[in-house]
Amino acid sequence: LAVAAEDALTWVGQCRAGDVLGVTDGEVALIEPGPPNPDALLAGAMRLLDRMLEPGGELITVLLGESAPARIADELEAHVRDEHPEFDLTVYVGGQRDSVLLLGIE
């Protein structure tokens, strides 16, 4: 999950600077309209997570970036517990600066 630095045309449409981008396999998979406030970041994270869980798996790993909102870990944990109880979730503070958070599914 990242924030668009500039306007661009993506595979899923036009994004504007400040939009929240969900990226999978190196391609933009979703655009959550900005500004990148905590609500937009959380909505984008949940949409991206739901999309990535469609093929299945067992374990979700989240690496929180430096700009991740304080409540995002708790909100993602509640979302997984309510919507995807068959998955285990582990959250780490990664501190990366180039993305709000990174998601991995195993």
What pLDDT shows up at residue 48?
96
The CA distance from 42 to 32, in Å, is 10
Residue-wise pLDDT tens for the chain (106 aa)?
Answer: 999 999 999 999 999 999 999 999 999 999 999 999 999 999 999 999 999 999 999 999 999 999 999 999 999 999 999 999 999 999 999 999 999 999 999 9
What pLDDT shows up at residue 94?
95
What pTM does this model have? 0.90
29, 22 Cβ separation under 8 angstroms:
yes
Query: Which tokens in the block code for residue 23?
Result: 């990226």
The CA distance from 17 to 19, in Å, is 6
What pLDDT shows up at residue 60?
98
Domains of the chain by start residue, with CATH:
2-105 (3.30.1330)
What are the residues whose beta carbons fall under 8 Å from the beta carbon of 65, sequence distance 6 or more?
94, 95, 96, 97, 98, 99, 100, 101, 102
